[in-house]
A and B are shown apart, each in its own frame.
Chain A
């Protein structure tokens, strides 16, 4: 996808093909959501993240409502260091939920008792930093993943909530598909907050986007005092109808907004793939044969 703008250098064919592409995308979206016959009265739209850099990477200019999204942490793969990394993912998820709910929306947050034991409970004042108002928050304390998934599904299906977040360990594709269908039926934003395990990275889910979040190691300028804003290394690892990207993002707890610190340009889209040659020098690149035909 990174080469697409270079690829259609001819103006006429570009507009032609882009409309064709849009048409195709619409049709695919129609096919994909065919599972749910329920037509919701809730306007399905997007939740803009408030920063052009991030929103541009997402189809429709934001996180789609009525879809399932996924936030995982890349904090630590070992059992001991997993915890701290997960908090960063949790913070990012809370920020997304806060933006989705806005000032009026209700939120359901499902926690798993097991994770509670290890990492402590969600702290109300800490949540409000990310724009989640505790007064419109319903907390579920599930005994295991099954209960959490069930509660999320019920919450998404009910249509009474703007955002449903759940801390889930492992889940099957089928389970995530169920959540996706429930989200389509209810129109709320579904968010899987996944505890990072070795399996997490490999499993495929039906989520529309997948974000991998880690704390940004102290690269920022020494601020004058204190710690400064929370900073994360955010990678849009999978995005249906969008491209894979990576940013360093800060959260402003006063304006409840993201801010992109440094777009991580030149990062290979897929680890191991060759970086696009000549991107830095601005040279015209010869593309594979297919492009010319």
Chain B
């Protein structure tokens, strides 16, 4: 038996009992298979739900159940949060009442340190309330009568203590510290320090803690989309002034909705560049709110800006959009980009950027617009009038993602193509323009266009369709005809693009 409820415990059942023994004590016992994985999942969901009280919640890594090794408690740091719920006492009773509604039997303790709370929650005698609060500075007195197990020692340490007759925490505390640490190792001393608050024990929260976070609790559970939208607007109106004060804008925003049945619904939206306009952010949530499953209702909402970036008072302008009077257009455009990105994925909304290379597949890269940092700090933004690419370059409208090999009839060694076969169609070349030689970029490692020169030809077939062909490599200058002798690779022809 790994766990039991309070009623069973009163009847004398204990952890670690065999099932037959337990049945002997209590014939009408209800037994369920233990499912450790499912328990863990439920526990972390509950930890997430506890985010309604404080952002600093986590599943306690140190489980007290020796049989399963399962983790069985949640740690919350309510420093500075208790007053929101009318004090520590009220917070705890609210928590316990809600847990009881879920059908969860829990013991809660609030103390100066996680260690003390851990001990009290498990080993202290609580009156009917099921929770207790250790007054500030009172840890030492409260911990004293508890068994040494309460201080989260390793099993072998506990065995040693047992052999030495150290049963209660106060026995340990009475010992001089230095020999204790020497005898049992530093972890023991650390556990004691952690329980008494001499050593800090940080909680690493389930959810990342964000500085920009606003919370709204409802008097009555709500479920309608309109109500949620109204709550969202209210939250945004609180959040945006906070951001404004710090000159920051939102890049990622999460809305957590706490349902009465303990589930948490989350919606996250991203923006391509920092934003702190209420309408803009509200619009991004628009499509998502309908899809929220409100269950039996939602009784609290938390809006957190998990990613922010500096944003000065002036709206940042999109590249290429410089010019007065278009600021409104810019705002509209960035809103549009965010809407598109949130639905299709931010990586699907791109812009083209020029690169310093003559190899066609290197000359242009598509960059997601959401990588706003790069866009804003683009060095060549100053010269707006300069075209991105030299106008004299004749480049196709469509470029194949990889050049496709074609069979070509051409004069050896360097004649233009006369006939070529591509995708099983034969094209007879009517007119040719070229060649344009693009040299190998030897300074790059392996990759396209780094090994051999390419001779590009623009050709038009007899039906007027225009293609971009190239020959990679050159025939060896000496004995072209003795091709059987030479072991150098033959030049190959490729089709790389199509002109309109």
A residues touching B (Cβ–Cβ < 8 Å)?
A: 75, 80-81, 83-85, 87-88, 90-92, 94, 104, 106, 108, 116-117, 119-130, 133-143, 147, 150-151, 154-155, 158-161, 215-218, 222, 225-227, 230-232, 251, 253-254
A20 to B398, CA, bound (A): 48
- Most chain B C-beta atoms within 10 Å of own C-beta, residue among A123, A139, A155, A225: A123
Interface residue SS majority, chain A: mixed
21 residue pairs from A and B, CB less than 8 Å apart: A92-B500, A117-B401, A119-B398, A124-B363, A134-B388, A138-B337, A138-B350, A139-B349, A139-B351, A141-B344, A154-B340, A159-B332, A160-B330, A160-B335, A215-B463, A217-B462, A217-B464, A225-B433, A227-B458, A227-B460, A230-B500
A139 to B367, CA, bound (A): 10
A40 to B10, CA, bound (A): 75
Contact: A125 with B393, CB < 8 Å? yes
Q: Given that A91-B500, A147-B344, A161-B333 are contacting pairs, would A227 and B431 also be in contact in the complex, using a CB cutoff of 8 Å?
A: yes
Contact: A139 with B352, CB < 8 Å? yes
Contact: B340 with A134, CB < 8 Å? no
Is B391 interfacial (CB-CB < 8 Å)?
yes
Contact: A136 with B321, CB < 8 Å? yes
Is B249 interfacial (CB-CB < 8 Å)?
no
Number of interface residues of B (CB under 8 A): 62
Is B405 interfacial (CB-CB < 8 Å)?
no
A217 to B465, CA, bound (A): 8
Q: Which residue of A lies closest to B401 (CB)?
A: A120
Q: Which of A90, A139, A142, A159 contacts B500 (CB 8 A)?
A: A90
Is B364 interfacial (CB-CB < 8 Å)?
yes
Chain A residues closer than 8 Å to B497, beta-carbon distance: 120, 123, 126
Q: Which of B321, B388, B400, B500 contacts A128 (CB 8 A)?
A: B388
Interface residue SS majority, chain B: mixed
Contact: B464 with A121, CB < 8 Å? no
Contact: B398 with A216, CB < 8 Å? no
Least Cβ distance of A184 to chain B in Å? 17
Q: Which of A134, A218, A225 contacts B462 (CB 8 A)?
A: A218
Contact: B430 with A140, CB < 8 Å? no
Is B52 interfacial (CB-CB < 8 Å)?
no
Q: Which residue of A lies closest to B393 (CB)?
A: A125
Contact: B398 with A218, CB < 8 Å? no
1/0 per position for B359-387, CB-CB distance to A under 8 A?
01001101001000000000000001001
Least Cβ distance of A123 to chain B in Å? 4
Contact: B466 with A227, CB < 8 Å? yes
Chain B residues closer than 8 Å to A138, beta-carbon distance: 333, 337, 349-351, 369
Least Cβ distance of B66 to chain A in Å? 51
Q: Which residue of A lies closest to B369 (CB)?
A: A138
Contact: B348 with A142, CB < 8 Å? yes
A39 to B458, CA, bound (A): 48
Least Cβ distance of A274 to chain B in Å? 29
Q: Which of A83, A119, A230, A253 contacts B466 (CB 8 A)?
A: A230
Chain B residues closer than 8 Å to A143, beta-carbon distance: 344
